[in-house]
Amino acid sequence: MKIKHVFMIVIASILSIPTHANTVKVYAAASLTNALTDISKQYQAQYPKTKIVPVFGASSALAKQIEAGASSDIYFSADLDWMNYLVQKQKISGKQVRPFLLNQLVTISPRQLNIPFQAKPQFNFAGAFQGYLCTGQMESVPAGKYAKQSLIKLNWLNALKGRIVGTDDVRAALAFVERGECAVGIVYKTDALISQKVKIIGTFPANSHHPIIYPIALTQQGVANQDARLFEQYVRTNSQAKQIFQRYGFVLKQ
């Protein structure tokens, strides 16, 4: 009986060992999709034993999933608010948070339209186009939150009531404008640059919204994962990774 008992303990121990010890799960803002996908492929080419699994979506939705217990090693947010939310929920240690990238907020339209834009309170933005304006959900998605701040600052929000479509993430807003379902969109500069179907018609002044800062951090789970620690460091410090971010229009935070 004793031998059998020891045998069962050994078997249980073996089964409890993670089957993908070299897997790194990264929860990242939708606007990071292209850059982080390229960086992940580059990293895996150099370190083939490590599998990077990115999960892209709105920073708000990803934070809620991590709070609910979703398996994540790294959280890469499009704003500081949702990062701080997870710090408060004790899913991330504050000392792990690294503000890393900067972005700009722009207005886009389908290429074939000619919509004027002036980032001035006296400009009649609501009267400059017909149809809808798309951006992230204004109460939760970072791009939408920044958009709301700018629209309030320029005194344009009230005139647009009933014409604003809030999407699940910034890439969804981009897709609506690409299809012509929205005449204009408010997205990040990096999103506009990847599309051949839209054009930037204007940039919101930096002082019209909170600084667009992308912080990255290891989660409590990630701290215990050596592969996650190595990949997080690579993303922040590798010169080739930095070049990829810059190629997509991100600015490295000093």
Instruction: Flag whether 170 is marked binding.
Output: yes
Asked if residue 142 lies in contact with residue 82, where contact means CB atoms within 8 angstroms, the answer is yes
β-pair type (133-136, 184-188): parallel
Instruction: Flag whether 143 is marked binding.
Output: yes
Instruction: Flag whether 188 is marked binding.
Output: yes
Instruction: Flag whether 31 is marked binding.
Output: yes
Sheet arrangement for strand 251-252: 51-57, 23-29, 74-76, 213-218, 98-102, 251-252
- 186, β-bridge pairs: 107
Q: What is the 3-state secondary structure (H, E, C) of 184-225?
A: EEEEEHHHHHCCCCEEEEEECCHHHCCCCEEEEEECHHHHCC
Give buried/exposed letters for 214-238 (b at 16+ CB in 10 A, else e): bbbbbbebbbebebbbebbebbeeb
Helix axes 142-153, 170-178, angle to 10 degrees: 70
Instruction: Flag whether 70 is marked binding.
Output: no
Can you tell me the distance from the alpha carbon of 228 to that of 76, in angstroms, rounded to the nearest whole number? 13
Joined together, the tokens standing for residue 252 give 């490295």
Binding residues: 31, 59, 143, 170, 188
Q: Which residues are annotated as a binding site for molybdate?
A: 31, 59, 143, 170, 188
